[in-house]
Structures are given as C-alpha cells and as structure tokens.
Structure 1
Amino acid sequence: MERSLFLAKLLGPTFVAVSLGMMLNLGLYQTIIAEGLHAGILLYLSGFLSMLGGLAIVNLHNRWQMDWRVVITALGWLMTIGGAVRIVLPQIAIAVGSTISSGRTSVVAAALATGALGGFLSFKGYMRCS
C-alpha cells in the first residue's frame, strides 16, 4: 500500500498541474503538441521518458487487485506502451497527436480527463494519510 500511496501522491498533483496548464493555456498547448509532433527529437525523448517512467511504475507496482490501485498499474502499462509506440512507430503517435491537437474540444477533453485522474489519485494518496 505504501508504494501505491507514494505513486498516487507523485502522479496526482502532476496530472492536476498539467490539466490546469492545459485549461489556462489552450492555444499554447495546441501549439506545443503540434510542434512536439514535428520535432523528431522531442517525440523520441517523450517516448523514451514515458517508457522509462512506465517501466518504473510497472516494476514497482504491477498489482491487478480490483480496487483504486489498479489505476496506477494501468497508467504504468499505458505509459510503457505509449512510450514504445513513440520510439518504434512514431507515425502512429504523430497521427494520434495530430487528432488531439487539431481542435480545442479534444484538448479540453484531454485536460479534463487528466485533471479528473489527477484529482482522484491526489485524493487517494493524500486523504488516506490523515
């Protein structure tokens, strides 16, 4: 449980901050996403870091119990797979990223989903410590 709480405290506030940044700077984030998709090194580095972080989570927290902690495990696997796709099949990552950055609605949806996930993990991580 300690690893779950640690990871929830780490990921939750990070996702909330990313979500707030996206919501407060929609146009800028659309530009950041679009530019990141066309700068090969940024796509590669984001894939490398995502895969590295995802593997760290999976190796520390590969728990599939049907409670809130499965969210952390699923995130670890999604990060690992997403990172591998950006490294091995960047054209797929570019297609998906282009769809997301193509309109404000999809950026808002991504921001809201990220914020909800971050809020959930923050709640689980910090409210269980009191």
Structure 2
Amino acid sequence: MDRSLLVARLLGPTFAAVSLGMLINVGMYETMIAEALHFGLLFYLSGVLSLLAGLTIVNLHNRWQMDWRVIITVLGWLMTIGGVIRIVLPQIAIAAGSTVYSGRAAVIGVALFIGALGAFLSLKGYARRA
C-alpha cells in the first residue's frame, strides 16, 4: 500500500474522532485544554509523543509533491516542530496554546478545522481507486 494512503487512513479517522469529541463535549475539552496548558508531566509527554509521531511521518513520508500528499508531510513537520518546542521551550508553547484556545468559539473553530482535515484525509485514504 502507498505510504500516503496508509498515513491518511491513520490520521483521517483519528482527526475526525477528535473533532467529533471536541464538538460534542466542548465544555469538557475547554477544561482539558486549560489543564494541559500548565507545564507538567502531561505537557512534557505530549511533546515527546508529538515529536515521535512527527518524526515517524517525516521519515516515512517526506514528499513535497504539490498535491494532497503534501498535507501529510506538512503535518509531520508541524508535529515534529511542535514536539520540540514543547520539550525545549515550553513557555512559548504554553503562550501559543493559550492564544489559540482562547474561549469556546476558538475550541469550536479548531474542532471544525480538524474535522474537515480528518474528513479530507479519510476520503483520500479510503476512497476506491480506479
């Protein structure tokens, strides 16, 4: 199987599920995000996991073709950079996260974006090929 399809099949449904969870439980996600934006073990572990996932994607799928597959490569690099920043410069990551997730409308906006990305990747990953 093409690596792009495999990664799309993994990320697409995961993003869709996260988005659905965020939209159904906005209040709970607001609380979880607020708690996660305090430096501690959870914040550090999220950086390590993001770094590992990002490096895995970058090493398996570092394709800079100008089609839908570049989204996977960009996501891999963003995850890698985000993980490094959470580990090395946590105060910057906390400030950025506090800015992005500033209120219910922001959480809903992020959830809709993640959901659209998840639906797109799922469609690309699972669509029947001719």
Normalising by structure 2, what TM-score? 0.95
Look up the SS of the partner of 2:37 in the other structure: helix
How far is 1:98 from its partner? Answer: 1.5
Q: Percent identity?
A: 71
Deviations 1:98-125 (A, max 9, x none): 2233201110110011001000000000
Distance 2:18 2:55 in 1: 21
Distance 2:92 2:39 in 1: 15
Distance 1:42 1:100 in 2: 19
Distance 1:57 1:105 in 2: 30
Match of 2:12 in 1: 12
Look up the SS of the partner of 2:115 in the other structure: helix
Say whether the 8 Å CA contact 2:52–2:80 is kept in structure 1: yes
Distance 1:93 1:69 in 2: 27
Corresponding letter in the other structure for 2:125: G
Distance 1:27 1:99 in 2: 18
Corresponding letter in the other structure for 2:101: S
Match of 2:64 in 1: 64
Runs of 5+ unmatched residues, structure 1:
none
Calculate the aligned-residue CA RMSD, in Å: 1.3
How far is 1:97 from its partner? Answer: 1.6
Look up the SS of the partner of 1:38 in the other structure: coil
Normalising by structure 1, what TM-score? 0.95
Corresponding letter in the other structure for 1:4: S
Runs of 5+ unmatched residues, structure 2:
none
Deviations 1:59-111 (A, max 9, x none): 00000000110000000000000000100010011112222332011101100
Distance 1:4 1:97 in 2: 29
Aligned length, in residue pairs: 130
Distance 1:101 1:32 in 2: 11
Corresponding letter in the other structure for 2:70: V
Match of 1:26 in 2: 26
Distance 2:33 2:85 in 1: 16
Distance 1:53 1:91 in 2: 22
